[in-house]
């Protein structure tokens, strides 16, 4: 199992940070009807109770935005992924269907406010550190191309940055060939909320992505 660490710089600026991690084997499929029935129900519930103006006051999102500011990055320009997803729902746009694993992560994310990373573990080389993006550091974001990650919180292996709460990278994205998933939940708020989220994610991955050989831990 890969080792994961938090850099001293992030720990100093975000002292309550905890990373919730799930590693497991999965079966990636293009579409899961039962999962999307649950997603549609969740979207309708969220539309009824969360307005566009209220998105940023959701505790996990508010704490993530606060962390971005502490690290020197403007969260309204580089929105955490959970915030971006919930804003789409509040605007009546829903979110894109990708594959069962990514759809699960998105569902858990909008239900909890956590900006969750999902990575093909076979594409991660060596140990992982949660650190701050460097000036000029290359990063190809999914659907966005080259992204300026200077000042953003990022996950980095021996090849460079591969993930961020703002958006995951092309290098480690979940594809139909993915068999080993690494899911990471950066929590800048309460451990109780994180544990509940990890348990819900494990349940959905088991139900909708045939997850097995599951390992959970926190950093």
Q: What residue ranges of the chain have pLDDT lower than 70?
A: 1, 190, 192
Q: Quote the tokens at residue 167.
A: 């958006």
Q: What is the pLDDT of residue 2?
A: 76
Convert the pLDDT of each residue in 82-92 to its tens digit: 999 999 999 98
Report the alpha-carbon distance of residue 130 to residue 152 in Å, rounded: 10
Q: What is the pLDDT of residue 193?
A: 87
| Domains in the chain, CATH or no CATH each | 4-218 (3.50.40.10)
Rg of the chain over Cα atoms, rounded to whole angstroms, equals 16
Q: Quote the tokens at residue 180.
A: 């080993």
Whether the Cβ atoms of residue 92 and residue 61 lie closer than 8 Å to each other: no
Report the alpha-carbon distance of residue 28 to residue 211 in Å, rounded: 10
Q: What is the pLDDT of residue 190?
A: 67
Q: How many CB atoms lie within 10 A of CB 91?
A: 11
- Count how many residues are written for the chain: 219
Q: What is the pLDDT of residue 74?
A: 86
CA-CA distances (angstroms) from residue 166 to 20, 81, 93, 113, 180?
17, 5, 19, 13, 22
For tokens 């080993």, name the residue.
180
Question: What is Dmax (Cα atoms) for the chain?
Answer: 44
Q: What is the pLDDT of residue 143?
A: 84
Cα angle, residue 192 at apex, residues 63 and 196 outer, rounded to 5°? 105
Strand partners, 120: 181
Strand partners, 169: 141
Cα angle, residue 115 at apex, residues 216 and 45 outer, rounded to 5°? 105
Q: What is the pLDDT of residue 102?
A: 97
**Nearest CA-CA partner of 207 in 48, 19, 34:** 34
Q: Quote the tokens at residue 184.
A: 């990471």
């Amino acid at each position: 199992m890969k080792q994961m660490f938090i850099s001293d710089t992030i720990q100093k600026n975000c002292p309550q940070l905890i990373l919730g991690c799930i590693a497991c084997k999965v079966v990636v499929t293009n579409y899961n009807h039962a999962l999307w029935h649950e997603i549609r129900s969740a979207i309708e519930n969220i539309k009824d109770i969360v307005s566009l103006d209220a998105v940023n006051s959701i505790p996990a999102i508010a704490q993530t935005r606060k962390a971005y500011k502490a690290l020197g990055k403007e969260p309204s320009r580089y929105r955490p992924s959970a915030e971006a997803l919930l804003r789409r729902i509040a605007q009546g746009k829903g979110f894109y269907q990708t594959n069962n694993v990514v759809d699960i992560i998105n569902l858990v994310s909008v239900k909890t406010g956590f900006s969750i990373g999902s990575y093909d573990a076979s594409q991660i080389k060596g140990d992982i550190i949660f650190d701050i993006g460097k000036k000029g550091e290359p990063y190809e974001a999914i659907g966005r191309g080259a992204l300026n990650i200077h000042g953003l919180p990022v996950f980095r292996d021996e090849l460079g940055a591969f993930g961020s709460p703002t958006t995951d990278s092309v290098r480690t994205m979940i594809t139909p060939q993915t068999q080993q998933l690494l899911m990471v939940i950066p929590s800048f708020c309460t451990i109780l909320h994180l544990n509940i989220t990890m348990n819900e994610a494990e349940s959905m991955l088991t139900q909708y992505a045939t997850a097995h050989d599951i390992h959970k831990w926190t950093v």
